[in-house]
Amino acid sequence: MAVGLGLDLTLRDVQSRQKERGLPREVAKAFDGSCPLSGFVPIGQIDRLDNLDFLLAVNNQQRQQGNTGHMLTGIPELLSFISRHFSLLPGDVVMTGTPSGVGPLCSGDKLELVMDGLMSVRTQCL
């Protein structure tokens, strides 16, 4: 088991149009560059899963900030709950949500997501 970071991006305008038309909304979530992931750090190398700071900067300006201690359900409890309902297999990724600060992105925006100096992911909006 390992911990990593990911950006779970959504095309809100596409999502809204699809919803209005009663059409599937997957195209708003599954597009090129929609979910960049960092590298992963083995869970044994992390001292405290319940106290990891992370932040998202857009064009070098902080947009979101959070701490795993603020999650409604802790990481061990969340994984336990999930595994009671279906199998978690090597390579599976569990996305846990996002802190406040969600906002629009523009083509060319540069994004950097960092967690406690352990990992980061950088990408640019197409």
Structural domain spans, the chain: 2-124
Render pLDDT for 27-68 as a digit per residue (tens, 0 to 9): 998 888 889 999 999 989 998 889 999 999 999 999 999 999
Judge whether residue 117 has pLDDT over 90. no
Judge whether residue 86 has pLDDT over 90. yes
Of 76, 66, 48, which Cα lies nearest the Cα of 114? 66
- The identity of residue 62, as a single letter, is Q
- What is the DSSP code (8-state) at residue 8? -
φ, ψ dihedrals at 81, nearest 5°? -60, -50
Strand-pairing partners, residue 6, are: 37
Q: pLDDT averaged over the chain?
A: 92
HSE value, Cβ hemisphere, 13 Å, CA-based, for 33:
12
CATH of the structural domain 2-124, one choice from 3.40.50.2300, 3.30.750.24, 3.40.47.10, 3.90.850.10: 3.90.850.10
Quickly state the pLDDT bin for 83 (edges 50, 70, 90): very high
pLDDT of res. 84: 96
**Residue partners of 88: CB distance under 8 A and separation at least 6:** 79, 82, 94
pLDDT of res. 102: 86
Summarize the confidence of residues 75-99 as an average pLDDT: 92
Question: Long-range contacts of range 41-48, CB-CB < 8 Å, 24 or more positions apart?
Answer: 41/2, 41/3, 41/4, 41/118, 41/119, 42/1, 42/2, 43/1, 43/2, 43/3, 46/3, 46/118
Summarize the confidence of residues 10-14 as an average pLDDT: 89
β-strand 119-124 against 110-115: which pairing, if any? antiparallel
pLDDT of res. 115: 93
